[in-house]
Structure 1
Amino acid sequence: MILCPRTTSNYCGGDFAVSFASVVNSLTFLFTGDDSVQSLSVEAFLGAATLGTLTVFGDGVTGTAQLVNLAAFGDLDRIVVTGASKDPAGYGYDDFTFQLAGTIPEPSSWALMIGGFGLVGMAMRRRSARVAFS
């Protein structure tokens, strides 16, 4: 399903903001519908701090999906997209992908790690001391 911010003239030309319920990283998405080569600005935020702005230029072909990659900004919780109103027909946005930041390993992962450390410890303990004879 394509995200299409509607304006009063009923086209996808509006600026918009996306807020995530949790902090995310490795955010990417596609934009399409550009029939001009105008720029689109995407600002990344973590709380009130601005992490940076990425400027993406349209290629003038409405059917081309272009990647917006915000992975370099690291953890973020909000983006603001501006400049879409410069394009006569506006843009559509799709395929938002991201990872939740600071995820905690599953209990089964913890059990495997602890079991592995236990086996290494047992192996080290079972080593017999070598005695050197002269």
Structure 2
Amino acid sequence: MIKHIVLAAVAACAVASSANAATVIFQPGVFGAPNGYTLYSDFNTVDAQAVVSGNNFVFPTGSVSGQYTALPANNTPYLAVLGGGVANIAFNNDVRSFSFDYSTVDTYNTLTINYADGGFESVVGGDILTAGQIDGQVSGSFIINGDGRLISGLSLATTQNAFEVDNLAVSGALAAVPEPTTWVMMIAGFGLVGVGMRRRTAAAVVA
């Protein structure tokens, strides 16, 4: 079960779950690898495409109605998993975090995070969409943190056309995403500092 799903860069939404679960950050309308991440595959060349195994996937350019949809303003090849297919990507070295651009969030898409310890977690497109967002019409980028567990790879599966991703990037460090409890502690800390400064100022005036 996924630990947190952050639905925008400004607002964070915590979802309760088991310990050591992944943190999934979805940023609508934001594309490209985060700072500090290394591009693992852009799927533009035969060598870049060779990292993918599985079945019923293609590397198209552009969009074809009813089959696959390119990312906004993207004219280069990308990975599209078709209905009933699965694309598996195993990293050369275990990572702590990875990211990718997501063409359209569909409820029938499933991302599986594979851990180095043999465990795994899955998140479906319906977990990402919020009230008012329409299935198949929201694009953005994903960042996935293992939160202490090393990640060995990922799998992309879908029951219908299609699951389209591009610009897969990896990092040996976790993305900086404060926990909700951390935000509370930070705010409380700022409050205490403010109180201390006010008392110090008042004492100086009296003296």
Q: TM-score range by the shorter chain?
A: 0.5 to 0.7
RMSD of the alignment, in Å? 3.2
1:68 aligns with 2:142: yes
**Structure 2 residue corresponding to 1:98, chosen from 151, 170, 179:** 170
* Aligned residue in 2 for 1:28: 99
Q: What is the match of residue 81 of structure 1? A: 156
Q: C-alpha displacement at 1:65, in angstroms?
A: 2.1
The aligned counterpart of 2:9 is none
Select 1:19's aligned residue among 81, 90, 95.
Answer: 90
Distance 2:144 2:121 in 1: 9
- Structure 1 segments unaligned to the other structure (5+ residues): 102-134
SS across alignment from 2:58: coil
**Gap runs ≥5 in structure 2:** 1-41, 44-48, 50-55, 60-66, 69-79, 174-207
Aligned identity (percent) is 9
Q: Give the TM-score normalised by structure 1.
A: 0.52
Aligned equivalents of 1:45, 1:55: Cα separation in 2:
15
| Contact in 2 for aligned 1:42/1:81 (Cα 8 Å) | yes
The 1:22–1:72 alpha-carbon spacing in structure 2 relative to 1, beyond 3 Å, is closer
Q: Quick one: distance in 1 between partners of 2:152 and 2:109?
A: 20
**Aligned mates of 2:125, 2:98 — CA distance in 1:** 15
1:113 counterpart residue number: none
Take 2:104 and 2:125, find their aligned partners in 1: how far apart are those partners?
A: 13
Higher RCO, 1 vs 2 (CA within 8 Å, ≥6 residues apart): 1
Cα shift readout 1:43-93 (whole Å, capped 9, x = no counterpart)? 11124612311222374345x42333321454201111112x423xx1321
Whole-Å separation in 2 of the counterparts to 1:86 and 1:68:
20
Confirm or deny: 8 A CA contact 1:41 1:56 kept in the other structure.
yes
TM-score normalized by the length of structure 2: 0.36
